[in-house]
Structure 1
Amino acid sequence: MSTDAAVYCRVLGPARITVRGADAPAELLWRKHLALLVYLARSPRRGRTREHLVGLLWSDRDEKQARHSLSEALRVYRRVLGDAGIEADVDQVRLADGALLLDCDLFAERRAREDWIGAAELVEGAFLEGLAVPDASAFEDWLTAERGLWRGQCLDALVRGAEALVAQGDPARAVALAQRSRAIDPAAEPAARVTMRALALAGDRAGALRVAAELTRALTDQLATTPAPETLRLAERIREARVGRRIASAPEVGRGRARPPLLARAAELAQLSAAWEAVGGEGGGGKGGQVVLVEGEPGLGKTRLIEEIDARARLADGTAARARAVPADEERS
C-alpha cells in the first residue's frame, strides 16, 4: 500500500488529519465533513450516490438544503484534495485513488503480514473516538458497526504487539502497547496478563499487581465472574517475587528498580527462550533438560541477558537457583 497520499487521516483513536504533513483546515474537521470523508474512504470503490450520502447525513433537512450541504462538503474536499482528488457528477461521488490514506487501511496491511508491533503502534483508541452525529441515525448505525469491527482487531494486535516486544526484551515499550489494549477492554484477560508480565519484567511489580486488582474488579462488575486460574497464578508469582516468599533470591527485576531494555540481544534471547520453552516454559513439554553456556568478553551484557530469562522463568512458574563463583573456588596451581 502506498503511503504517499497527500492527506493522511487517523481514525483508530480521536480523528486527526494532516495535509502534506501539516494540520488540516478546521472546516475539514467539522463533524459531518469528517464523517462523510471517512465514510467515502471506507465505501466500496470509495464512492456512493449523492442520494445515498444525503440520506446518510442530512435526512433531517429538506432535499434542497441537504444537497446544498453535500455540495459545500465537496467544495471543502476539492480545496484540500485538489480537483483530481474528488470525482463527482450529477449522480456519483467518489474519492480518487491515492487521494487519502486512512490509518486503518495501513493497520490492516500490517496485520495481514503479522507485523504486530507496527500494527499496534497505529492504535490510539476506538474507531473515530469521540465523534458523534446524533441527527444522522444512519451514520451512527454505520459507526457503531465499524467500531465493533475494529475493536476486536485492534485489541488482538495490541496484545500480540506487546507480547512481541516482551519477547524482544523491551518490556517498557510493551507496557505502552499493553496499556492501550486495557483501555479498549478492561475486562480482557489476555490484555491484562501481557500488561502484568511487561510491568513485572520492567521492574514495576506493584504496578503489575494493580493491574491484577483492576482486572478482578472489571470482571466482577461487567461479567460477574473472576479471573481465570492462569491469571491468578501469574499474579501469585509476581506477588511472591515481590515480597520474597518461596523465591529466596529474586533477580534485580524484583527489587523495584526499572530495568533498561535488552538492546541488540534479540537473537541470543530467542535462543535462551527456546531452551526454556523446550524444558518447562509456557506451552513447553517439561521433559528432559538442557545446559546453555553464555560466554563473552566482560561488559557485553551477559548478566543482563541471564537476568532476563531468569525473570521470565520465574513468572512462568519456574524455580531458579543462582550461584556466583568466588576467589576461593578458583583452581589452585
Structure 2
Amino acid sequence: MLRLYLFGSPRLERDGTALPLRRSKALALLAYLAVTGRPHSRESLQALLWSEFPDADARNNLRRELSQLRATLGADALRTDRRQVVWAEDADTWVDVAAFTREIAAVRAHTHPGELCESCGRALGAAVQLAVGELLDGFHVADSPAFEDWLFYQREELLAQLGWALEALVEWHAARSELQTALSLARRWLSLDPLLEQPRRALMRLLARAGQPAAALRQYEEAARLLASELGATPEAATTALYEAIKAGELVPAPADAARRPPSEGASAGRAPQAAPELPPLTSFVGRQDEIELLAARLAEPACRLLTLVGPGGIGKTRLAGEVAARCAHAFADGAQFVALSGATKPDHIPG
C-alpha cells in the first residue's frame, strides 16, 4: 500500500519502505491532489502553482512534475488525461489527512442520546493521533500565492476540526472519570491556541477534580498574563468565576472509585438499576460545559423541585436539557424521562 503522510513533516511510504519525496512543487501538487481528492483541470493546476509563468512554460512545468510523481508513486496513484488530473482514492493508497477528516465526519453524522458512544470515542481518538503536526509543517512555495492561500485555509480548517475532536474527547474521558487521559487531551487542546479560554477552563476543572487545585489556579494566572500581554484583555467572567470556585474549595476532587460504573453500583441496596433515560434522537453534543455544570449543580440541590430553561426557539434548550438529563439520570432513584409537550394545547393535558 502507498501511504502519504501530510501532517507534520511530509513523508511517503510503500509497504513500510520510505520513498523519496522532494520538497518542491511536486510535493505541493501531490498534497493538493491528495487532500482535495477530486479531479482538477490542468489549467487550474497550472494557475495554482505557476500563475506567474507564461502558459507554455506552465504547461511544461506541470507535465514535468507529473512525470516525476508517476515515477515515484507508480502508475496507479494518479490518473491523468489531456484535460485533468485526479488522485486515485480507489487505488491501493492511504492519506492521513483523508483518514482524519473521514473519522471526524462519521462521528459528526452519528446521533447519540447523550455523550459520545464507545465507537465514536475510539474513532476520535484514532483521528487525533493522526494529526501529529500542522499540515505540511514548515513547507511553503514562495512564488505560488494561490497555493499558499489554499494551504493557509486548509491548515485553519484542519485545526478547527482537531479542536472540535479534542473538546469532545476531553468531555468523553472526563465523564468516564479517566482524568489523566482527559488532562493530556485538554493540554493538547489548549496548545492549539493558548489564548482560548474554553480549553483553559476545561483544564482548570480537570486539575481541580484530580486534586491539583494549585495547578488549576496557576492556569488562571497564566491565562490572565497572556491575555493582558497579547490582547490587553482580562479573562472572561466564566473563567474568573471558575477560578473563584476552585479557590474557595467548591470543586472537590473526584472520588478514587469514580470510574464509570453500571448504574446499579451507585444505587442503594435493593434498588433496581435504572435504564438510560428515554430521550429523542440527539446529535453529537460538544461544548456548553459551563451551562451543563451549572444545571447539574442546581438539580443536585435538595430544594430544587423545578428547573426551567427559557429562551428563543431554536437556540438548543431541548438539546441542552436532554444532555443534562442523560448525564444526571444516575443520581435519581427513578432516573430521567423525556415527556414531549409540543402537542399539548391545554394545561389539563399535562399529567400531575
Q: Same fold (TM over 0.5)?
A: yes
C-alpha deviation, 1:154, in angstroms: 1.9
Structure 2 residue 221 is the aligned partner of structure 1 residue 213 = yes
When residues 89 and 131 of structure 1 are mapped into structure 2, their CA distance, relative to the original with a 3 A threshold, is same
Alignment partner of 1:7: what SS?
strand
Among residues 143, 149, 164, which one is paired with 2:157 in the alignment? 149
* Offset, 1:162: 1.5
Deviation at 1:86, TM superposition (A): 1.1
User: How big is the shift at 1:202?
Assistant: 3.9
SS of the residue 2:40 aligns to? strand
Aligned residue type for 1:173:
T
* 1:44-76 C-alpha deviation (Å, 9 max, x unpaired): x52212222122112344445433432343234
One-letter identity of the residue aligned with 2:25:
K
Counterpart check, 1:7 vs 2:19:
no
5+ residue gaps in structure 1? 254-258, 290-333
Does residue 1:110 correspond to 2:103, yes or no? yes
2:140 is the counterpart of 1:132: yes
> By how many angstroms is 1:39 displaced?
0.9
Aligned residues between the structures: 264
1:109-139 Cα offsets, whole Å, 9 max, x none, are 3223433434333333443332221211011
Instruction: Please name the residue that 2:62 is paired with.
Output: 70
CA distance in 2, matches of 1:173, 1:35: 36
Question: Deviation of residue 23 (structure 1)?
Answer: 5.8
| Residue 127 of structure 2 corresponds to residue 119 of structure 1 | yes
Matched-pair contact (CA < 8 Å) for 1:8–1:103: yes
Note the residue ranges of structure 2 that are not aligned, 5 or more in a row.
Answer: 108-119, 267-275, 277-288, 303-352
Residue 138 of structure 2: SS of its match in structure 1? coil
Matched residue of 1:267: which SS?
coil
When normalised by structure 2's length, the TM-score is 0.63
Task: After superposition, give the CA deviation of every residue in 1:127-175 in whole Å (9 maximum; x if it has no partner).
Answer: 3332221211011111122223223222122122112112222222222
Q: Is the 8 A contact 2:209 2:254 kept in 1?
A: no
Letter in 2 for 1:220: A
2:295 matched to 1:283? yes
Q: Does residue 34 of the first structure (1) align with residue 42 of the second (2)?
A: no
Percent sequence identity over aligned pairs: 32
Provide the residue aligned with 1:302 in structure 2.
none
Structure 1 residues 8 and 266, CA gap change in structure 2 (3 angstroms): farther
> Whole-Å Cα distance in 2 between the matches of residues 233 and 270 of structure 1?
35
Instruction: Name the aligned partner's letter for residue 2 of structure 2.
Output: A
Q: 1:19 maps to what in 2?
A: 13
CA RMSD, aligned part only?
3.6
Aligned-pair distance for 1:186? 1.3
Q: Could you tell which deviates more after superposition, 144-153 or 187-196?
A: 144-153
Corresponding residue number in structure 1 for 2:236: 228
- Is the 1:120–1:177 Cα contact (8 Å) retained in structure 2? no
**Alignment partner of 1:19: what SS?**
strand
Distance in 2 (alpha carbons) for counterparts of 1:22 and 1:213: 46
Instruction: Identify the residue that residue 190 of structure 2 maps to in structure 1.
Output: 182
SS at match of 1:266: coil
Contact 1:196 1:211 in 2 (8 A): yes
Asked if 1:267 corresponds to 2:261, the answer is yes
Contact 1:85 1:95 in 2 (8 A): yes
SS in 2 for 1:93: strand
Residue 192 of structure 1 deviates from its aligned partner by 0.9
User: Which amino acid is the alignment partner of residue 33 of structure 1?
Assistant: A
Change (3 A) 1:238 1:74: same
Higher relative contact order at CA 8 Å, sep ≥6: structure 1 or structure 2? Answer: 2
Q: CA deviation at 1:98?
A: 3.1
Task: Pick which of 188-197 and 14-23 moved more.
Answer: 14-23
2:343 maps to none
Q: 8 Å contact 1:162–1:177 — kept in the other structure?
A: yes
1:48 aligns with 2:69: no
Distance in 2, Cα, partners of 1:118 & 1:282: 31
